[in-house]
């Protein structure tokens, strides 16, 4: 039996227990974690305007149950950096500060990477663009 994608599990977990623990889904974590960072202002405005905020890491309309789970290039890099088990333990312990730290550690590593076009994800974020390609 194949294990489901860690990122999809995290997203599902956050959606399921997020309300009970007052901890938001991943797009909410971006907003909460970077709301005071001036470099993120244009990006956060872009994310707010999205029909589906999951489009930051997922391809719009993609089957999240299919192989690759509909992740775009940015989502795949983030998925590889994210420590799911530690995050899940923090959520279960209702330790939102630790969960946010785990989220931000993975995020900070991811935004330093370059996409296939050689653009650094953080440069795209500062421009107010979505970092991943959602073709």
Q: What is the mean pLDDT of residues 49-75?
A: 87
Residue ranges per structural domain of the chain: 8-126
User: What mean pLDDT comes out for the span 93-121?
Assistant: 95
Residue 21: pLDDT band (50, 70, 90) is very low
Residue 59 has pLDDT above 80, yes or no: yes
pLDDT at residue 11 in the model: 43
Separation CA 123–CA 90 (nearest Å) = 30
- DSSP for 32-54, written as a single string: HHHTT-GGGHHHHHHHHT-SSGG
Q: How far is CA 100 from CA 33, 57, 70, 89, 93, in A?
A: 7, 17, 24, 12, 13
Q: What is the reported pTM?
A: 0.77
């Amino acid at each position: 039996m194949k294990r489901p994608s860690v990122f999809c599990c995290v997203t599902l977990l956050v959606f399921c227990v997020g309300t009970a623990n007052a901890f938001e889904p991943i797009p909410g974590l971006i907003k909460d974690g970077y709301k005071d960072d001036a470099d993120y202002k244009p990006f956060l405005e872009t994310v707010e305007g999205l029909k589906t905020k999951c489009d930051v890491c997922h391809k719009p309309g993609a089957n999240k149950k299919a192989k690759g789970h509909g992740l775009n290039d940015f989502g795949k890099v983030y998925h590889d950096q994210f420590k799911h088990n530690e995050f899940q333990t923090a959520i279960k312990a209702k330790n939102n500060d630790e969960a946010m730290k785990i989220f931000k550690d993975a995020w900070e590593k991811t935004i330093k990477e370059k996409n296939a076009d050689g653009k650094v994800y953080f440069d795209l974020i500062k421009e107010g663009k979505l970092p991943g390609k959602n073709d």
